[in-house]
Amino acid sequence: MAVSLREYRARIKSTESMKKITRAMELIAASRIIKAQQRAQAAAPYARELTRAVSAVATFSNVDHPLTSEVENPTRAAVLIVTSDRGLAGAYSSSVLKESERLAERLREEGKEVVPYICGRKGEAYYRFRDRAVQQSWTGFSDQPSYDVAAEIGQTLIDAFLDDEGVDEVHVVYTRFVSMLTQEPHATRLLPLEVVEGTEAPADGEVLPLYEFEPSPERVLDGLLPQYVQSRIFYCLLQAAASELAARQKAMKSATDNAEELIKKYTRIANQARQAGITQEISEIVGGVNALADANAGAE
Amino acid sequence: MADIGTGLMVEMVAADRTVWSGEASMIIARTVDGDLGVLRGHAPLLSLLTEAAVEISTPDGVVHAAVDGGFISVADDRVSILTQHALLAEEIHIDEAKAELESAEGMPTGNEREQRIRRASSRIRAAEAAG
């Protein structure tokens, strides 16, 4: 009886300290989300200007570039999967991985071999556990990606794509940040690039000016397109980072709520146990006194 | 798009931030074909930049910056300079850049060495021009 009361108190204590941890993680995630969103906003002008420039070149010259040309019979497809480095983010990583499995299956049905590239320790662990080969992986930056990482990943994928022995397509699976409450896994094809042919580029009705390209449209495109790919990857990484933090905040919030619930439950049980103990003690004392009184009465 | 202002609207954008934006009267940048000066009314242009210093003359003085390649696009008196990394002169540590230049010169010859030398020396130039 007294033992179980002590046990309950210990459980309450440990749940309380867990609650403190999850609460702290919730607050950290919440403050980092704001930073992640600011970073995404800060990166927006670059992406916007780059898209403008690419569509300008695409509109005024015949785009024929290795990065935009489709291979006739694609046989190998690279899939870049963006997961998190750490868990405790609810179903964040597993839903990205599930989406990537779906994509891989579709690609295999189309007769393409899937070559996985992975961002984040969780994805790496998933593949290692299943003993599957990974072409290359990058870890250690999932909640605050830098442009340099995106540039490195982009360059690796471009090299693989341009290599004859490499891949014929590049896909990305990442989590799109819709709102604080919804983040959805999303698969998209990165290479070969589909250049928006200036159809929607001048958003506010302005006509794209007649650019001169120096030294030549081809050279400009040569310089632009890799940057464009890298900036697209950077965008995916930033979205994934914001999503990861939002998912973590949500998961930690419900963990904190659950801990509170558990503490309440255990406190009730502990109180009950304590009360039961007191009642039993009283009845034992009363019983003992009665027995003594009876014995004394019998002796007299 | 006839601006009422007298200058160029300039935006210098790095991959992760807007480095500088504002009004300017003239921009001097180095493209792969040589130095390029942009004044108001310049013809629409899209050109590749090399690692070099960029000079922006504004009503309040001259802004110097170092860019790591990238692009310059000019249209309707709007100039955008796009680059992966850009540093304004006041953000450059000249000693660091000099150390970087020395270490780059010690590297085996190759594209990376060239690029790092150009990058470091463009930073030094930008910082010295401003200093």
Q: Is B81 helix (H, G, I), strand (E, B) or coil?
A: strand
pLDDT of residue A296: 87
Q: For residue A147, give how far its alpha carbon lies from the nearest alpha carbon of chain B (Å).
A: 7
Residue A273 placed within a domain: no
Residue A140 placed within a domain: yes
Portion 41-80 of B in contact with A at CB < 8 A? 43-48, 69-71, 73, 75-76, 80
pLDDT tens profile A23-53: 999 999 999 999 998 888 888 888 888 888 8
B18 touches chain A (CB under 8 A): yes
Range of the domain at A108: 27-201+211-247
pLDDT tens profile A178-194: 888 889 999 988 888 87
Residue A183 placed within a domain: yes
Burial class (CB in 10 A: 0-12, 13-18, 19+), A46: buried
Residues A59 and A229: beta-carbon distance below 8 Å: no
pTM: 0.82
Mean pLDDT score, A89-111: 92
Cross-chain Cβ contact B45/A234 below 8 Å: no
Give, to the nearest 10 degrees, the angle between helix B94-105 and helix B111-130.
160
Out of A6-15, A128-137, B66-75, B95-104, pick the least confident: B95-104
Residues A71 and A168: beta-carbon distance below 8 Å: yes
Do β-strands A113-119 and A76-82 pair in parallel, antiparallel, or remain unpaired? parallel
Q: Which residues of B touch A234 (CB under 8 A)?
A: 15-16
B130: enclosing H helix or E strand? helix B111-130
Nearest to B44 among A39, A211, A224 (CB): A211
- For tokens 């003239």, the residue is B26
Question: How many C-beta atoms surround the C-beta of residue A122 within 10 A?
Answer: 23
Cross-chain Cβ contact A53/B84 below 8 Å: no
Rounded to whole angstroms, the Cα distance separating B131 from B128 reads 5
Q: What is the domain count for chain A? A: 1
Portion 232-291 of A in contact with B at CB < 8 A? 234
B8-88 is a CATH 2.60.15.10 domain? yes
Q: Which residues of A touch B45 (CB under 8 A)?
A: 211-214
Rounded to whole angstroms, the Cα distance separating A92 from A78 reads 22
Q: Which amino acid is at A197?
A: E
Residue A275 placed within a domain: no
Domain ranges of chain B: 8-88, 93-130
pLDDT of residue A50: 86
Residue A276 placed within a domain: no
B96: enclosing H helix or E strand? helix B94-105
A37 touches chain B (CB under 8 A): no
Cross-chain Cβ contact A224/B71 below 8 Å: yes
Choice between A282 and A66, residue whose per-residue pLDDT is larger: A282
Residue A255 placed within a domain: no
Domain of residue A68, CATH code: 3.40.1380.10
Q: For residue A52, give how far its alpha carbon lies from the nearest alpha carbon of chain B (Å).
A: 10
Residue A91 placed within a domain: yes
pLDDT tens profile A212-269: 887 888 888 888 888 888 888 998 999 999 999 999 999 999 999 999 999 999 999 9
Rounded to whole angstroms, the Cα distance separating A244 from A79 reads 20
Out of A127-141, A144-158, A205-219, pick the least confident: A205-219
ipTM field: 0.78
B107 touches chain A (CB under 8 A): no
Rounded to whole angstroms, the Cα distance separating B93 from B114 reads 21
Residues B67 and B88: beta-carbon distance below 8 Å: no
Per-residue confidence at A68, pLDDT binned at 50, 70, 90? confident
pLDDT tens profile B58-105: 888 888 888 888 889 898 888 999 988 888 888 888 888 888 888 888
Rounded to whole angstroms, the Cα distance separating A136 from B51 reads 30
Nearest to B13 among A49, A214, A230 (CB): A49
Cis peptide before A66 (omega within 30 of 0): no
Q: Which residues of B touch A42 (CB under 8 A)?
A: 16-18
Residue A159 placed within a domain: yes
In terms of DSSP H, where are the helices of chain A?
2-60, 92-109, 121-129, 147-162, 217-299
Do β-strands B17-24 and B8-14 pair in parallel, antiparallel, or remain unpaired? antiparallel
Mean pLDDT score, A139-144: 87
